[in-house]
Homo-oligomer: A and B are copies of this chain.
Amino acid sequence: MTIKYPNGSLPLYNERQKKQTNVAKQKKSFANRGMRFEEAINESNEYYLNRGCAVIHKKPTPLQIVKVDYPKRSAAVIKEAYFKEASTTDYNGVYQGYYIDFEAKETKNKNSFPLKNLHAHQIEHMKKCLSHRGICFVLLWFSSLNRCFFIDSHYIVHYWEQQATKKKSLSLATIEEIGIEIIPGVAPRIPYLQAVDQFIELKEQTSCQTIHEHSVMNHQKRKQ
């Protein structure tokens, strides 16, 4: 994700301005406000971390540092650096012994999520994490609809790889079918671990079913 500050610099708030901004933030939803979805996830991660629910962090933005100054008696100042494209997804960590890895994506569209919002290297990363039994997903925010979905990366990879021959976006109807909807709240703002719980439960049921089916098959084989 590339950070774009319109006026070329980060605003420096004083404490009072900060409070006012926070109040304004709380009043409005984070729809159509750029970084708001990411902020909501970061806040949710902090909430989960402080309560001992999970250890999930956003990775720092990767930068190519070119020039650093070392003024005497003060901290090193980076004078020239460039944004680099990340080779992984934005978030990872650990939850109940599971490796968690996800990307947060936002769209203003009302009917579909364009797959071009994901990059080839992110898909590659997801495939690798899945092959190592990580729980890997996309948190998708429809900013015009105020709706949030958990989508298992198995689906994302599947649809991404069909892109050349089939549709270039996931319809809302498909997302409603394959995803788990997350209802935004207050604390945490994006309670995505609820969706992860549902996903783990479903996964375990499926693997239990598979084990059960196998044992039934073996039983029938033995009977024959």
Contacts and interface: CB of A to CB of B under 8 A. Distances in A.
Given A67-B8, A68-B8, A2 B76 contact: yes
Nearest to A9: B67
A88 B9 contact: no
Contact of A99 (B77, B87, B94): B94
A72 to B, nearest CB: 12
A125 B49 CA distance: 10
Contacts of A67: 8-10
Given A63-B60, A79-B80, A82-B78, A9 B68 contact: yes
Contacts of A83: 75-76, 78
A57 interface: yes
Nearest to A59: B59
B95 A92 contact: no
Interface stretch (A128-136, A151-159, A195-203): A128-136
B55 A132 contact: yes
A60 B68 CA distance: 17
A65 B128 contact: no
A128 B80 contact: no
Contact of A63 (B78, B97, B128): B78
A76 B61 CA distance: 14
A52 interface: yes
Given A4-B76, A94-B133, 14 more contacts: A8-B69, A9-B67, A52-B128, A57-B87, A59-B59, A59-B60, A60-B60, A60-B62, A78-B80, A78-B82, A81-B81, A93-B99, A96-B133, A99-B99
Given A8-B67, A60-B59, A132 B96 contact: yes
A186 interface: no
A132 B55 CA distance: 8
Interface in A34-76: 49, 52, 54-55, 57, 59-63, 65-70, 75-76
A173 interface: no
